[in-house]
Structure 1
Amino acid sequence: MIDPTEDIRREMLAEINAAPGIREHLEQQYGQVWDTAQLQADFDVLGFAAPLVAVRRRADGVKWSVMFQGSPRYYFGFEPHRG
């Protein structure tokens, strides 16, 4: 099966992991940042295709997308799905 997003996701992944940010820098750039334990506490993971993860917020069931960097593993840049 051909994934039309693969090239774009590979570019995003290379860019994100080229200069992994410290948490404070990511918070300034993207707002709230989660480590793995925090993500698991706040969200159910629905699926992923690096560097993106689809999640459902446990508090209200809202579905969101998030990006992540490889190491240290931080999740950031949440955007709600529209529609």
Structure 2
Amino acid sequence: MTDQTESIRREMTRNINAVEGSREYLEAKHGQVWDTTQLQQEFSVEGFLAPFVLVRKSDGVRGTLKFQHDPRFYFGFEPE
């Protein structure tokens, strides 16, 4: 099976990780930011497909977040 989004996702991942985004940088650019512990407290993770993670909030709302690798932060929640 061919993943038709792979090249797009790879480019997005490169762009996200090209600049080491501090928490402050990401908050200024994307709003709320979560580290791994905060993500686990507020969301149930249903799947990863870099640079996206499929999540369900504690209130049942399902959506996606983007993430950067190092330091690992999650941001840009988009509800379905």
TM-score band w.r.t. shorter chain:
over 0.9
In structure 2, give the amino acid aligned to 1:77: G
| RMSD, aligned α-carbons | 0.6
In structure 2, give the amino acid aligned to 1:69: Q
In structure 2, give the amino acid aligned to 1:41: Q
Question: What's the offset of the Cα at 1:20?
Answer: 1.9
Q: Deviations over 1:20-72 (max 9, x none)?
A: 210011001100000000000000001110010000001x1000100000000
Q: Structure 1: 5+ residue runs without aligned partners?
A: none
TM-score (norm 1): 0.94
Alignment partner, residue 4 of structure 1:
4
Percent identity of paired positions between Structure 1 and Structure 2: 60
Looking at structure 2, the residues matched to 79 and 44 of structure 1 have their Cα atoms a distance apart, in angstroms, of 15
Alignment partner, residue 67 of structure 1:
66
Question: What's the offset of the Cα at 1:4?
Answer: 0.8
Alignment partner, residue 55 of structure 1:
55
Looking at structure 2, the residues matched to 20 and 62 of structure 1 have their Cα atoms a distance apart, in angstroms, of 30
Question: What's the offset of the Cα at 1:73?
Answer: 0.1
Residue correspondence of structure 1 range 1-83 to structure 2 within 5 A: 1-58=1-58, 60-81=59-80
Question: What's the offset of the Cα at 1:18?
Answer: 0.6
> Which runs of 4 or more aligned residues in structure 1 lie more than 2 Å from their structure 2 counterparts after TM superposition?
none
The number of residue pairs the alignment matches comes to 80
